[in-house]
A and B are shown apart, each in its own frame.
Chain A
Amino acid sequence: MNDSIKTTDIIESQWARLGVLFNCALASATPDLERLLLDTARQLHHNGRLLPLISTWLVEHGLYVARHRLKRLIVEELEPEHQPALGLLLETAVEHGAPAELRRLCKVCIPSTDPSPLSVSFHTKPALIEIAQQTASELSKKWGLWSPAIQLKHDAICPSSWIRTHNPSLLPRLIRRGDLRCSILEVFARDLDNSASSISELARLTNATRPAVYDAVESLVCEGELIQHSRQVVLLSVA
């Protein structure tokens, strides 16, 4: 099995855990959703089903995404060559009805300056490259990754109740509609050892301004999610 197939299998099992009906076993734990979106962008060229399916998932469940954290990860971790793919994925989803807040993330991604077919299967012959260009949607042309317009696949996505049952740790994200508080909690859980040294550190890790992080931390302290000792912020609990 080559690396690309192995990687796409892992990604499919993680999305299956989040309610995408791939024919595979569910991942054993709730995936890191924001990093999964990055990995999905990296595989978009190799698995043509990812664009329509994950776009549909974002249309239905985009509020689970911790947007500020995703923005920071795009900037710090996503290789420039994969940014057009994530931009195409996010903007396709928004155009089909995903939360408009995701549009801001598209602006962080940089389109390709060397347009080519999205699917590597269309790279093999000049005639196929020409077909991909001729049938490309306007949006895919904008991102420099030629692909036809997608059709959403609602029947291949589980409802939110299923996602919450299998991933209870995602519930706080939904309640807070993916806002800055979600990113802060996710940073505590995924990127820090349950404590942060300062508001500045949280601001850097969430790619948000310090005043905004200060307000969000205050809110989370009131909600009983965080406790704060002077300048140090300590995680109290994660649902």
Chain B
Amino acid sequence: MPRNLDQHLALEAIRITGAYLDGQGISKPIRIIIAGGVAGLLGQYLNQSRTTADCDVLNNVDDESWGLLQEAVAKVAGELDLPKGWLNRESRIYQHCFAIGWEDRAVEIGRFGPLDVRIISRKDLIASKIVSAITRQYDLEDLQAIKPTEQELDFVSDHLDRLEAEDLDAKCYNKERAILNSLRGGTHE
């Protein structure tokens, strides 16, 4: 049975992956920064009942390291009965939508053998959900549960300004701003 990745299983899978790489004699550090639902769970930004089926790696990992990592990921998938692509980098295509400096803001989860695991910061998760809430209504449900602070919303506002200023097709981000503004007031500091 393919199992879903909750917080504990995700950590266990990552730990075993690191141990496998270590056992293969790989010493060169491999840094991964995880986004999406697993980041929300590991950072405890999101309620545990949120469905997450995979670890979305957002940063660039060189092809050689990625190949080694995928070999370990396949072994762990078999061992823990996880979906084959439980750790993938399909979300990299959305990298450009993240706020400048997201890699520097990433939060350390731990070092597992050569595997250096981080997750995106809470405010980067909030920013990504504000953008995706237009096409996935449950992201707004998540945001209302997360209760972003005014400071976090100001950060996202600046990010939206930048996205708009840089967009070559002059895309307007008014919908995203409306989502953001709906979260103002009634937030916690």
Contact = CB atoms under 8 A, between A and B. Distances in A.
A29 interface: no
Contact of B2 (A49, A131, A153, A158): A158
Interface stretch (A85-93, A114-122, A216-224): A114-122
Interface residues of A, number: 35
A90 B136 CA distance: 19
| Most chain A CB neighbours (cut-off 10 Å) among B2, B54, B137 | B137
Interface stretch (B25-33, B116-124, B149-157, B175-183): B175-183
B1 A23 contact: no
Contact of B49 (A23, A127, A135, A149): A23
B29 to A, nearest CB: 29
Given A117-B137, A127-B182, A134 B175 contact: yes
A100 interface: no
A98 interface: no
A214 interface: no
Contacts of B51: 20-23, 49, 53, 153, 156
A112 interface: no
Q: Size band of the B side of the interface?
A: 20 to 34
B34 interface: no
B136 A48 contact: yes
Contacts, number: 87
B36 interface: no
Interface in B109-133: none
B141 interface: yes
A170 interface: no
Contacts of A122: 137, 140
A67 to B, nearest CB: 27
A197 B124 CA distance: 63
Where chain B touches its partner, the secondary structure class is loop
B144 A23 contact: no
Given A53-B51, A134-B175, A135-B135, A155 B83 contact: yes
Nearest to B145: A121
Contacts of A149: 135
Nearest to A159: B2
A158 B83 contact: no
A20 B52 CA distance: 11
27 contacts: A12-B49, A20-B51, A21-B2, A21-B4, A21-B53, A22-B4, A22-B49, A22-B51, A23-B41, A23-B49, A24-B49, A48-B136, A48-B139, A53-B51, A117-B137, A119-B140, A121-B141, A122-B140, A128-B179, A128-B182, A131-B178, A134-B175, A147-B137, A149-B135, A153-B51, A155-B85, A156-B53
Interface of A: 9, 12, 20-24, 47-49, 53, 117-119, 121-122, 124-125, 127-128, 130-132, 134-135, 147-149, 153, 155-156, 158-159, 162, 165
Interface of B: 1-4, 6, 41, 48-54, 83, 85, 134-141, 144, 175, 178-179, 181-182
